[in-house]
Amino acid sequence: MMNSDSWLRWLERWLKRYPVQEPPEFMRYGYTEEVLNRVRAAGAPAPLYRWIPAPKASFALGTLMAGLLVGLVLVRGSGSSSIEQEIEILEQVDADDSIPTGEEPDSEEGLMEELRESDEADLAVS
């Protein structure tokens, strides 16, 4: 068996003497025209950096979204603080026994007392 070097030399010599066949003559006809027909059907070459307009739009959209986000955060931030204030007031109200809670009276006796006070107040006004 030939060693690697002599085999390679022999192979290169052989391939030079017997190159790969050329494409058959009858198949060569119309090759370029077929490619050009397909190229014409495909339209003009795709422009480079087709995405160039996209960053402009993306930038504008991104800026808009960022603005909206900032606005939303601010609104939600102020909303949070108003909610916190409300909770704070409610806690103060709960803590103050002098302010009616609006809860239903615990008992029928209490309800009757409440109605009597209400009637007296109405009579006093009239």
Partner 1 sequence: MAGVSDGEVIGAILGGDTHRYAELVGKYQSRAWKLAYGLVGNWEEAKDLSQNAFVKAYRNLARFRRSAQFSTWLYRIVVNECKDFFRSKARRPSLVPLSPDPEAEDPIQFDLADPAGDPSDAAADQELAKRLGAAIGRLAMKQRTAFVLHHLNGMSLEEVSRAMGCRVGTVKAHLFRATEALRRSLAPYLLMEVTR
Q: Are 111 and 105 in contact (CB under 8 A)?
A: yes
Interface with partner 1 by CB under 8 A: which range of 24-32, 71-79, 83-91, 114-122? Answer: 24-32
121 lies in the site for partner 1, by CB under 8 A: no
Q: CA-CA distance, 72 to 66, in Å (whole number)?
A: 10
Q: Distance between terminal CA atoms of the chain?
A: 130
CA distance to 4, 92, 102, per residue, from 116 (Å) = 119, 29, 17
Stretch that binds partner 1, among 14-22, 57-65, 75-83, 101-109 (CB under 8 A): 14-22
Among 35, 64, 90, 121, interactor with partner 1 by CB under 8 A: 35
Which positions lie near partner 1, rule CB under 8 A?
Answer: 1-2, 4, 7-8, 10-12, 14-15, 17-24, 27, 31-32, 34-36, 38-40, 42, 44-48
